[in-house]
Homo-oligomer: A and B are copies of this chain.
Amino acid sequence: MPRQTSRSSNNTRRDRPTLRTVAQACGLAVTTVSRALNNRSDIALATRQRVRQVADELGYVPDRAGRGLRTGRTHTLSLLLAPQGEITGYTASIISGLGEICRDNGYELSATPDVRHHDELSVVRSIVENQRADGIVLSRTAPQDLRVRYLLENDFPFVTHGRTELATQHASVDFNNEHFAEAATTRLVQRGRRCLMLIGAPASLTYQTHLLNGFSRIVTRNALQSIEIDDPPNLETPLNDLRRTVARLCQSERCPDGIVCAGEMAAIAAMAGIRDAGLAPTVDIDVIAKQTSATLDHMTPSIDSFYEDIDATGRLLGETLIRLLEDRPPPGELSVLIEPEPRYRLTDTGKTNTRT
């Protein structure tokens, strides 16, 4: 057996059929075949069907480069990722859903990690200017997101996971973080907790506002205390730091008796911090979190949570963007809001209860 060579050298690579091949097989002009396969109305229906069938039989697949050169479109969607090193399970789930939609619609999904400590716009600019994709999926949106402004100004198709506060409307999919925060906080109140703390998103991201709105509303309505500290830990605080901060807080006089946590990893670190302080999570300090994977289901003690379906979010992002690209009306609204799904603690048989 030959050793793996470093390039596909003596090319026996099966030459794939082109429009010309199909045209010859049909006895038609190349142009006709092109228009037939693109389902243009000025080609007889019968011809269109015949061409489609012959093309299928020959295994014809349009050449991306040829098409792209002519049309300027790439049939690629770019997913902008957090900078290298800050990529989490969230990313994986988004890719899973988005990738499925791309595959089903003949798009490539291109994953583009952001560059740390770099011009915020450099990645989007490179994609737009160099025509690396037909559309962009953004996450980690800020209220006045520069990237969104840039894309709007340049009239480049995109969809965001999360909203902005810009005057111009744009396609987006978001989790209802306000409802999540309200429901989570309410549940703590119902359990008699009176002194609450929120571990939310970085202040620069739009959804931190939503979380705070929901949290504060319930706190105010019930005349509760909420813990404010100088440098509050958030979802992107390194887990060890978050853990230490929580531990310190738990040993101070400002110790909370309930924590709402907008991310599952942060919740795990927070529980570790509570234990470090010699207290018992759930008993001394109740914790309630947003859940995006199965991990929380197997924690001890088990905690209540609200589920965000990231996989579904990825699918929605993809569908929205592709509809936008293909000039079809978006599915329902241009902006979709996904509601949290309440989950209750595990029973000891290991079953999750999901009540609606």
Q: Which residues of A contact B (CB under 8 A)?
A: 1-9, 12-14, 16, 59, 61, 63-69, 72, 74, 76, 79, 81, 84-85, 87-93, 95-97, 99-100, 103, 108-113, 115, 128-132, 152, 154-157, 167-171, 239-240, 243-244, 247, 265, 268-269, 271-273, 275-276, 294-295, 297-300, 311, 324-325, 327, 334, 348-352
Contact = CB atoms under 8 A, between A and B. Distances in A.
Contacts of A8: 154-157
Contacts of A247: 350
A319 to B, nearest CB: 14
B95 A91 contact: yes
Contacts of A81: 95-96, 99
A325 B9 CA distance: 11
Contact of A87 (B92, B240, B352): B92
Contacts of A14: 129
Contact of A130 (B61, B167, B334, B349): B61
Determine how many copies of this chain the complex contains. 2
A74 B8 CA distance: 14
Contact of A92 (B5, B61, B92): B92
Residue among A74, A76, A295 with the highest chain B CB neighbour number at 10 A: A295
A4 B88 contact: no
A128 B275 CA distance: 53
Contact of A65 (B69, B113, B239, B349): B69
Given A7-B157, A239-B294, A327-B7, A84 B109 contact: no
A130 B61 CA distance: 7
21 contacts: A8-B157, A64-B74, A64-B132, A76-B108, A81-B95, A81-B96, A88-B89, A91-B92, A99-B113, A100-B113, A108-B110, A240-B297, A240-B352, A243-B298, A243-B350, A244-B350, A247-B350, A268-B298, A271-B298, A275-B300, A295-B295
